[in-house]
Structure 1
Amino acid sequence: MAWKTLDDMDLAGKVVLVRVDINVPVDEAGNVTDATRIDRVVPTVQDIVAKGGKPVLMAHFGRPKGQPVPEMSLKTILPALEAAFGMPVKFATDCIGGPAKEAVGALGDGEVLLLENTRFHKEETENDAVFAASLAALGGVYVNDAFSAAHRAHASTEGIARLLPACAGRLMEAELSALEAALGNPARPVVAVVGGAKVSTKLDLLGNLVGKVDHLVIGGGMANTFLAAQGINVGKSLCEHDLADTAREILDKAEAAGCEIILPRDVVIAWEFAANTRHETVAADACPADAMIFDAGPETLAYITSVLGGAKTLIMNGPLGVFELEPFHKGTFEMLDEIARLTKENGLVSVGGGGDTVSAINASGHGEDFTYVSTAGGAFLEWMEGKELPGVAALDQD
C-alpha cells in the first residue's frame, strides 16, 4: 500500500485538516481521566506547525447520533488539549459552515484550531458527499491521524481523503508501520497470542491468523471452547459449547497451514469468581465438574516461553486468563515479562492492541517495553482479521 506521510507534503502557509481521535474518557466534572489518545496527537500537530502549516483538528466525541448534545461538545476536551500542546487551542462551535469558516480564516501562524464534534451532523456517519465537501472546503491538505477510527467509512475519515491531497499523520504512520511489521511482511517465526472471553467475537481473526503465523497461542475463555471441542471437560468454565464444530474447523485449518495451535497444558482453577479465592493447578483435562478455569498454569507458561524464545515477531490481542483478579494475573504477567525481555534483549518485534491487552500490558508495568502498543480497538482487530480499513484505503491514491 502506498500512503504518503507528513514528510511528503508541502504544508507551508496551508490550512491542514487533521482527523484525530480524542474520544477520551471524562469524569462527571468534565475532566479527562486518560489523556493517552490526546498525547499521541502531539507529534503530528508539532510537525505540521514546524512545516508552516495551520492545524485544524476534526474529531468525534461520544455518540450524539447526528444531533448537538451539549455534554458531548469537544469544548470539554480543550483544557486537556492545551495542556498537551503547551499552547492555547482555538475552538469553532461547528465543524462546517459560518462558524468553522470564520475560525479558520482567523487562524494565525503557529496556532491550532479544534472544530466541534463531527458527529453532531448525521451526514458524518453516512459519509455524505456534500458534508465531506464542506469539510474539505476549509483546508488545503488532509491528514488522517486517527487509525482507531479508520475502520469506519465516515466523511471525516474516508470521504474527505478523496477530495484533498492526503497523507497519514505520525500516529497513523506508526500504527501502519507496526502492523505491517507484525503481519504484512514480518520476520519469522511469528507468534500470535489471542485471548478473551469468547471465540464467537474473534472467528474472523483466528481464521486469518492461522494462515499467517507460525504459532498461535489461544488463552482466556476462548481456550476453554477449544479444549471442550476436543472432548475435555472444562467444568463450569466460560465456554461456548455450541461452537465446538467451528473450533475443530479452525484446528484443522491451522494444521493444514502448518500453524501450531498452543492450548493450555495445565490450568489454574477456582470455585468462585473472586480475588485470592481458593485455587489449584491441575492438568488441562482434570478440571473438576464444579470448578472454573481462570488462568494458564506453569507448564503452559514454560512451553509458551520456549516458543517465544525462538520468535522474531509477536502480535498480541487478549490475555491468558482473568488478569484483573489476583492471583489469576500470573500467567498473563509472566508471559508479558518474557515478551518485554525478548523485545529488549533479542530484538523481538512485539505489537499489542485491544482494550484488555493494553490494560494488561499497562498493569504489568510493560507499557513502554513493547515495540508498539496500539490504542485502537475495532480498527486494530479488523486489521488483524485481514479486512480493508476504509480510512487507510482512502490514503492509497497513487
Structure 2
Amino acid sequence: MENIKTVNDFNFKNKTALVRVDFNVPVNNNQSFQILDDTRIMYSLPTIQKIISDFGKVVIISHFGRPKGKYSKIYSLRFIISYLSDKLKIPIKFSESCIGQSVEKKISELKNGEVLLLENIRFYKEEENGNENFAFQLSKLGDIYVNDAFGVSHRSHASITMVPKFFVEKKCIGFLMKKEIQSLKKVLGKGKNPITILLGGAKISSKIAIIENLIKLVDYVLIGGGMSYPFIKAQGGKVGESLVDEYKDLKMLQKIIEQYKKQNKTKIFFPKDVIIADSFKDSAKTKMASIHSIPNGWMGLDIGPKSINHFCEIINSSRTILWNGPLGVFEFPNFSSGTFSIAKAIVKATQNGAFSLVGGGDSIAALKMRKYETKISCLSTGGGAMLESLKNKILPGIKAIIS
C-alpha cells in the first residue's frame, strides 16, 4: 500500500487516461436531473485537471444508479455533461457507447486536453458480472488506467478489478482515492489517541466484522441509532418495536459484548436513554425511556439527553474521530437532536485540532443540513467502501492496482 502509484507518478502528455470515477450522485426526482450533492464530482476534478494540465486526453468511465444491464433514459449520464463542462471550463464530449468501433473512433479524434465522457457503464450487464472480455474491450480505450472511484472500489466489477489487469505497470489511483486511503490510515492504528469510532444507522449485519476488528485498534466505540437495539436485545433488554435489522445471530452479539468486557483497551458504549414514539412519524406521541426497558408498542427513534451528553464528552476529548451512520431518524425534526448534537460535537473537536472522518450518505447529509461539511477534516465519498476498509480488508479496486 505504501508504494501504490498515483497520477503524480505519470506524465500524461500525448497519452489517453482511462479514468474510472464515481459520478453516482443524488438528483431530484422531477426528471430535471438537478444535482443535489456534487461532493463525489468535485473530489474527482483535481485528478482530471492534472491529466489535462499534462496535455493528456481523458476518457471518463462512471456508473449512475442501478439500470441492471439495460439502457434506461432516466439513468443516462448526459445530465453530467453541462455540469462537468462548467467546472472544468472546457467542452465535454460524449459517447453513447462504452466499447466498440464508435467509441474507439471518438477517442482517436480526441486532442490533448480534451475530455470524453462515456455513457453509464452499468448499461452493460458485463460490468457488474466482472466479465473479462468486456474489460479487455474497455482496456483498448486508454494508455494509462486511473481509479479515482473509491465509492465502488469494494465492488468486483469489470471496470474496477478486471480492466487494471490489462495495464500491467501503467495503472494508478487518483487524488480522491489517495486522500481516502490516507484518511483511513489516520484512523486505523495510526491516529492520535484517544481514537473514537461512532457507528449508527440500521444495518448491523454490515458492521459486526468492523466492531470485531476495531476492538483492538481504537479507544472508544460508540454505538447508537438502529444499530444499538440488537445489542441491547442480546443483553436481555426490552426494545419494544424498535428496529432490530435482519440480524438474528444474537449469540454473536453476546460474544462481542463479552470480548470487549474482558479486554482493557477499547471501551464500547451504547445509549443510556432514548426518545421513544408510539409510531414511525414525526407527529407521533413521544416520551423518554431507558434503552433497556422500552415498552411494547413503542420504538426508539433518537438517543436521549443523557446519551447525547455522554457521547459528546467522549468526542470532545478525542483526537481522532470516525463517524458512520445517524443516531436517530434525523429526517424527522422531533428525532434529529441526537444526530445534529453529535455532528456539532465533531465539528467542535475538529476546530480544537482533532482529525475527523465522516462517511455514509446519511451522516454526510446530516452535516450538510447544518452546513457543517466544510468544518470536518475529511468527507468519505464511499460509505460501503469505507466500511469494508474498516474490516481490515484491502478493497478489490485497490488490490487490482497494486497486483
TM-score bracket, shorter-length normalisation: over 0.9
Q: Residues 279 and 59 of structure 1: is their aligned pair in 2 closer, same or farther, counting only changes over 3 Å?
A: same
1:276 Cα offset (Å): 4.8
Aligned counterparts of 1:243 and 1:131: Cα–Cα separation in 2: 40
Aligned counterparts of 1:333 and 1:382: Cα–Cα separation in 2: 25
1:31 aligns with 2:38: no
- Alpha-carbon contact 2:215-2:260 (below 8 Å) kept: yes
Aligned counterparts of 1:292 and 1:126: Cα–Cα separation in 2: 40
What's 1:387 paired with?
393
Q: Residues 31 and 237 of structure 1: is their aligned pair in 2 closer, same or farther, counting only changes over 3 Å?
A: closer
What's 1:156 paired with?
159
Farther-moved stretch of structure 1 (34-43 vs 168-177): 34-43
1:105 aligns with 2:89: no
Q: Residues 73 and 290 of structure 1: is their aligned pair in 2 closer, same or farther, counting only changes over 3 Å?
A: closer
**Equivalent runs, 1:328-339 vs 2, <5 Å:** 328-339=335-346
1:92 aligns with 2:95: yes
Q: Counterpart of 1:368 in 2: which secondary structure?
A: helix
Instruction: Say which of 359, 362, 374 aligns to 2:380.
Output: 374
What's 2:187 paired with?
182
Q: Deviations over 1:33-64 (max 9, x none)?
A: 32332222211111111122111111123333
Q: In structure 1, list runs of 5 or more residues that go unmatched.
A: none
Instruction: Say which of 198, 206, 213 aligns to 1:208.
Output: 213
What's 2:290 paired with?
283
Q: Residues 282 and 66 of structure 1: is their aligned pair in 2 closer, same or farther, counting only changes over 3 Å?
A: closer
Farther-moved stretch of structure 1 (159-168 vs 282-291): 282-291
What's 1:11 paired with?
12
What's 1:299 paired with?
306
Instruction: Say which of 193, 196, 201 aligns to 2:201.
Output: 196
Aligned counterparts of 1:272 and 1:120: Cα–Cα separation in 2: 40
Q: Residues 244 and 121 of structure 1: is their aligned pair in 2 closer, same or farther, counting only changes over 3 Å?
A: closer
Q: Which amino acid aligns with 1:390?
A: P
How many residues were matched structurally?
A: 396
Q: Residues 244 and 84 of structure 1: is their aligned pair in 2 closer, same or farther, counting only changes over 3 Å?
A: same
Q: Which amino acid aligns with 1:32?
A: Q
- Alpha-carbon contact 2:358-2:364 (below 8 Å) kept: yes
Normalised by the size of structure 1, how large is the TM-score?
Answer: 0.92
Instruction: Say which of 132, 135, 142 aligns to 1:129.
Output: 132
Normalised by the size of structure 2, how large is the TM-score?
Answer: 0.91
Aligned counterparts of 2:73 and 2:277: Cα–Cα separation in 1: 47
What's 2:358 paired with?
352
Q: Deviations over 1:294-343 (max 9, x none)?
A: 22222222221222233221111111122111222111111111110110
Farther-moved stretch of structure 1 (69-78 vs 216-225): 69-78
- Alpha-carbon contact 1:32-1:80 (below 8 Å) kept: no
- Alpha-carbon contact 1:343-1:369 (below 8 Å) kept: yes
Aligned counterparts of 1:154 and 1:239: Cα–Cα separation in 2: 31
1:393 Cα offset (Å): 0.9
Aligned counterparts of 2:302 and 2:338: Cα–Cα separation in 1: 6
What's 2:120 paired with?
117
Q: Deviations over 1:125-156 (max 9, x none)?
A: 23333322222222211111101111112221
Q: In structure 2, list runs of 5 or more residues that go unmatched.
A: none
Q: Which amino acid aligns with 1:370?
A: I
Aligned counterparts of 2:188 and 2:283: Cα–Cα separation in 1: 38
1:217 Cα offset (Å): 0.6
- Alpha-carbon contact 1:195-1:317 (below 8 Å) kept: yes
Aligned counterparts of 2:244 and 2:73: Cα–Cα separation in 1: 42
Aligned counterparts of 2:215 and 2:189: Cα–Cα separation in 1: 14
1:286 Cα offset (Å): 4.5
Q: Residues 127 and 197 of structure 1: is their aligned pair in 2 closer, same or farther, counting only changes over 3 Å?
A: closer
Q: Residues 280 and 70 of structure 1: is their aligned pair in 2 closer, same or farther, counting only changes over 3 Å?
A: closer
% identical aligned pairs: 38
Q: Which amino acid aligns with 1:93?
A: E
Q: Which amino acid aligns with 2:251?
A: D
- Alpha-carbon contact 1:58-1:115 (below 8 Å) kept: yes
Q: Deviations over 1:273-305 (max 9, x none)?
A: 222544333333443344322222222222212
